[in-house]
Structure 1
Amino acid sequence: MSAKTRLAIFASGTGSNYQAIDQAIKTGELDAEIVLLVSDQPGAKVIEKADENQLAKFIFDPKDYQNKCEFETEIVNELQAHQVDWIVLAGYMRLVGPTLLNQYQRRIINIHPSLLPAFPGLDAVGQALEAGVKLSGTTIHYVDSGMDTGEIIAQESVRVKPGMTREELQTAIQKIEHELYPKTIQRLILEGDSF
């Protein structure tokens, strides 16, 4: 039996996708283990969730560094120390730079609350409502140097009902995210099990 695939979760916020992935591991739907949380927000709620699970963490404030290369070099050291196979961005609100991309090519994935290429970047839910679209949803993609421009791995749509509020649409999208992300990670692990 080969060792479990080792995941690092990168998050800046509440960590609802981190929780969904953790839950899928606990129920056996996802054959992996989370070995590290990386967060660029020292006050993020996700840190409390990681503490409850006694998870190793690397928490940093970008303002303490001269540049992105400097903090990403430290992140790479942490990832290597924890023998991370895949980096899973779960609400990490920062563009990934070349220091990380070069070390983990096609091993970094992100989830975004729109049907890319529509509405990349911040506030995708607000952008969708503003545009008056009938369908929104979520996209899982490989991370490249652009803003939500990497190759698409999986998508699932949500119908935007007339008069829907931002909170309602956000909740509907998160509900499918929490099912799609663990399933997609499992598929990637099965497809690429030659580490």
Structure 2
Amino acid sequence: MKICFLASGGGGNFKFFKMAIEEKLIKNIELFLIADRECGSSDFAQNNDIYCKKINYRRSENKELLLELEKINPDIIVTNWHKIIDEEVVKKYYGKLINLHYSLLPAFDGLIGIEPIKQAYGKNCKYAGTTCHYVDEGVDSGKIISQALLKTDISIDDAIQEIFQKGCLILLNTLVNLSNEDIIEKSKNNKFEYSPNLLFNENLFDDFFWKRLSEL
């Protein structure tokens, strides 16, 4: 399964998949990266011999993105960059474009990075979380695939870290759901905070794994 990340930042989710592959927790996944600038994601890809291409992209100038995607021919495109995808790309790859947003959409749509978490805490929301959704022509408006939530009875710093981890897990769960390949050992994992339920045991990714990931 070819997974192409569109990146602008540090690449936490991208690094999660690379480390999970190295630890043999997941398999049958090949990673690619397209960046719209020099960033932590592109540095990591280059340092780990992962295909990486930096391109110029605007909604009115999509030629380089279309060429790269045609070359890679990905099964899934994770749109973790600070751009709104143009209508031509969305139409061509709809159903393959997915995004991770750190709120329980439709709450706090249109915000970037951890800003939705800050907003949730600022407004005294009792729950915060993360959403994996399909990308359409709007902003954070595509069909929801999965969500994970947590109570806001912990510090915001702890919440940011936990929501990042849950985001990685529901992104992986989405790939397991969408793929016909054997990606991870499947196991029942019925927990209220994940919808739909995870198809694998989240304890495969223990505290030591997350600590090492944070150090990458």
Cα distance in 2 for residues equivalent to 1:137 and 1:49: 27
- 1:14 correspondence with 2:10: yes
Q: Is the 8 A contact 1:136 1:159 kept in 2?
A: yes
Q: Which runs of 4+ in 1 moved over 4 A?
A: none
> Cα–Cα, structure 1 residues 61 and 168, in superposed 2: closer, same or farther, change >3 Å?
farther
Give the match's secondary structure for 1:168.
Answer: helix
Equivalent residue number for residue 33 of structure 2: 37
Per the alignment, residue 59 of structure 2 pairs with: 68
Name 1:59's counterpart in structure 2: 54
Looking at structure 2, the residues matched to 85 and 111 of structure 1 have their Cα atoms a distance apart, in angstroms, of: 17
CA RMSD of aligned residues (A): 1.8
Amino acid in structure 2 at the alignment position of 1:89: T
SS at match of 1:93: coil
1:172 matched to which residue of 2?
Answer: 162
CA drift of 1:30 comes to: 4.7
Q: Which residue of 2 aligns with 1:24?
A: 20
Please give the per-residue CA displacement for 1:135-184, whole angstroms capped at 9, x wherever unaligned. 1111000001111110000111011116x23x332112112112221122
State whether residues 115 and 136 of structure 1, in contact with CA within 8 Å, keep that contact through their aligned partners in structure 2. yes
Q: Is the 8 A contact 1:135 1:160 kept in 2?
A: yes
Match of 2:173 among 146, 162, 183: 183
Distance 1:109 1:153 in 2: 9
Q: Is the 8 A contact 1:12 1:39 kept in 2?
A: yes
Residue ranges of structure 2 left out of the alignment (5+ in a row): 182-216
Determine the structure 1 residue equivalent to 2:201: none
Q: TM-score, normalised by structure 1?
A: 0.83
> Secondary structure of 2:90's match?
helix
Residue 95 of structure 2 aligns with which residue? Answer: 106
Instruction: Check whether the contact 2:100–2:130 (CA below 8 A) recurs between aligned residues.
Output: yes
Q: Which amino acid aligns with 2:52?
A: K
Measure, in 2, the Cα distance between the counterparts of 1:189 and 1:11: 22
- Report how many aligned residue pairs link the two structures: 177
Q: Contact between 2:59 and 2:84, CA under 8 Å: does it hold in 1?
A: no
Could you tell me how far apart the structure 2 residues matched to 1:183 and 1:87 are? 15
SS at match of 2:176: helix
2:136 aligned partner: 144
Gaps of 5+ in 1: none
Q: Kindly state the Cα deviation for residue 121 of structure 1 after the two structures are TM-superposed.
A: 1.8
Residue 47 of structure 1 is matched in structure 2 by: 42
Deviations 1:113-139 (A, max 9, x none): 011111112221121112110111110
Distance (whole Å) between structure 1 residues aligned to residue 29 and residue 20 of structure 2:
9
- Rounded to whole Å, the distance in 2 between the matches of 1:177 and 1:9 is 15
Could you say what secondary structure the match of 1:69 adopts? coil
